Amino acid sequence: MDDRVSAQLLNWYDKSARALPWRALPGEAAPDPYRVWLSEVMLQQTTVAAVTPYFIRFTESWPTVQDLAAAPEEDVMAAWAGLGYYSRARNLVKCAREVAEMGGFPEEEAALLKLPGLGAYTAAAVAAIAFGKRAVVVDANVERVVARFFAIDEPLPAGRKAIRAATDRITPDRRAGDFAQAMMDLGATICTARDPKCLLCPLSADCAGRAQGDPARLPVKAPKKARPERRGRAFWIERDGRVWLIRRPGKGMLGGMRALPDDGWSARADGHGHPPFAGTWENCGAIRHVFTHFGLTLELHRDLANGPLPEDEGEWWPVAQLEEAGLPTAFARAATLVLAR
């Protein structure tokens, strides 16, 4: 049955593959490893729809891995703003520079795993899709398809070992890259998290989850823990049509990004930090932003008294060009509270 599964899925993929800007369609030459790697890093915990415009802008600005390696890190971080998970962007630059020094991406999965920021999934995806190596590629879409097809009901994350082993069983020696992308497409378009379209699925006849009558219950996920909440304040300091921005430390929350000065909420949960200087501050409202591990209510306070200039290092940025500063989403949304006034 294992060979039949891959044959059925590849036949479906040959007719139904999604056209994506980083992908080579069936029958075309293998895509540039740089484009495969860049897209896979961007797609981690982010949707295709959100990633596509970022990918296009990145590859227009930096068409090759050598171009990205030569780019100032602050430019890359600004271009990444809005995609979230900013450690990915920092590792992106580190990896590009290492690959440029090597003269190109290594082809083997084990060597790819040694590069900065490449975990098991990304290394396997690049090896399979860019270099045609047999590798077991398991993202969230593949995980869902395989859990349903084999009716693996051990709750995640413990069930991932069985899911990976089952994916290994059905991964073919030839066209492993197309097979991985076919599994991704199947999970994204047919075997969706809610309301799977089993009547359209090329694997439905052999799907154990469908035979049991309720494939949507799989994969079984452990109950989510309650997300803790934090409070913080950001500060708007404006002079002559320019706003004061700081560069956040290279390590830690939103590392290396331009941002509004704040009260240190990323290092504390109580929101009791101090403004940059004593003065008269107007509360302009608050936004709520959800990070991976906590929710944040961020108030924005505006300097009303033209107090002393901040002592921290920073830069004056034209308010009219604030969109070009590459602020992280939380700070960009906070800034809109002032701009709307």
| pLDDT tens, per residue, the chain with 341 residues | 678 999 999 999 999 999 999 999 999 999 999 999 999 999 998 899 999 999 999 999 999 999 999 999 989 999 999 888 888 899 999 999 999 999 999 999 999 999 999 999 999 999 999 999 999 999 999 999 999 999 999 999 999 999 999 999 999 999 999 999 999 999 999 999 999 999 999 999 999 999 999 999 999 998 888 889 999 999 999 999 999 999 988 778 888 889 999 998 886 655 566 788 878 899 999 999 998 889 999 999 999 887 777 767 789 999 999 998 999 999 999 999 988 87
Query: Taking the model in full, what pTM does it have?
Result: 0.83
Considering the domain architecture, whether residues 203 and 234 belong to the same structural domain is answered as: no
Counted domains in the chain: 2
In a domain, 15, yes or no: yes
- Residue span of the structural domain in which 253 resides: 229-339
Statement to judge: residues 121 and 146 lie in one domain: yes
Does residue 211 share a domain with residue 284? no
Per-residue model confidence (pLDDT) at position 278: 79
Dig out the tokens for 333 from the structure.
């949304």
User: Would residue 67 count as lying in a domain?
Assistant: yes
In terms of domains, do 29 and 170 share one? yes
Q: How far apart are the first and last CA of the chain?
A: 64
210 shares its domain with 91 = yes
Residue where one domain finishes, among candidates 189, 217, 245: 217
Are 316 and 244 in contact, with CB atoms under 8 Å apart? yes
- Pick the catalytic residue from 28, 40, 154, 315: 40
User: What pLDDT does residue 55 have?
Assistant: 97
CATH number at 290 reads 3.90.79.10
Of the three residues 217, 246, 280, the one that is the final residue of a domain is 217
> Do 47 and 174 sit in the same domain of this protein?
yes
CA angle, corner 248, sides to 330 and 256, nearest 5? 95
Shared-domain flag, residues 35 and 14: yes
Question: Do 166 and 55 belong together in one domain?
Answer: yes
Do the Cβ atoms of 230 and 271 come closer than 8 Å? Answer: yes
CATH number of the domain residue 135 falls in: 1.10.340.30
Residues 194 and 257 in one domain: no
3-state class of 209 per DSSP?
A: helix
Residues 53 and 178 in one domain: yes
Same domain (yes/no): 69, 95: yes
**Where among 167, 182, 217 does a domain terminate?**
217
Any domain includes 58: yes
* Claim to verify: residue 198 and residue 263 sit in the same structural domain: no
State yes or no: is 40 an active-site residue: yes
